[in-house]
Amino acid sequence: MADLKSIIEENQKERERLLSLMAALRESDFSRRLSNGWTIGVALAHIAFWDLRQVTLLTQWLQKGGQSPVLPLDADAINAPLAILSEAVPPRGVVKIATEASQKADGLVAGMTQAQVDEFLKVGSERFLRRALHRREHLDKIEKALKN
């Protein structure tokens, strides 16, 4: 099973990376395109959305005493319209949302016990707890685009 302490540390490291990257962005950087066609702003809004989704799912799961199942979904069917909507969010709005979402997600996971983590992993994906995995994937793409 996943070690809660390592999850917390990994999430914190990637959250700090996210916050540092956003603080360094110029307004024009948010409209730079990534290799997948998204802008940097869309990628950051995407990270925020999925952090907030996991907050909602984990909160429900914790409130119901671990009884509610975590249902799979079609991420592509969500990401496509989300990318269109995210284009309309101003850069500083994206920063605010991504900052708050990452803090909420990491705080919720950090407040869990190892027993809760072990129980959750029986019904849910480790990526729901290891937010760092998702953030890292997109931050790597953003940093690559900024170097070009």
pLDDT digits (tens, 9 = 90+) for 77-118: 999 999 999 999 999 999 999 999 999 999 999 999 999 999
Domain ranges for the chain = 4-147
* Alpha carbon distance 58, 106 (integer Å): 11
Mean pLDDT is lowest, of 5-19, 64-78, 99-113, 114-128, for 64-78
Give 19-52 as a 3 state SS string: HHHHHHCCHHHHHCECCCCCEHHHHHHHHHHHHH
* Residue 89: per-residue pLDDT: 96
Residue 111's Cβ-count burial label (10 Å; 0-12, 13-18, 19+) is exposed
CATH number of 4-147: 1.20.120.450
pLDDT band, residue 144 (cuts 50/70/90): very high
| pLDDT at residue 38 in the model | 96
Residue 112 DSSP code: S
Residue 71 has pLDDT above 90, yes or no: no
Average pLDDT, the chain: 93
> Is the CB of residue 104 less than 8 Å from the CB of residue 51?
yes
- Give the model's confidence band at 2: pLDDT under 50 very low, under 70 low, under 90 confident, else very high: confident
pLDDT value for 25: 97
Averaged pLDDT for residues 53-74: 82
State the pTM of this model.
Answer: 0.93
124-137 pLDDT per residue, tens: 788 899 999 999 99
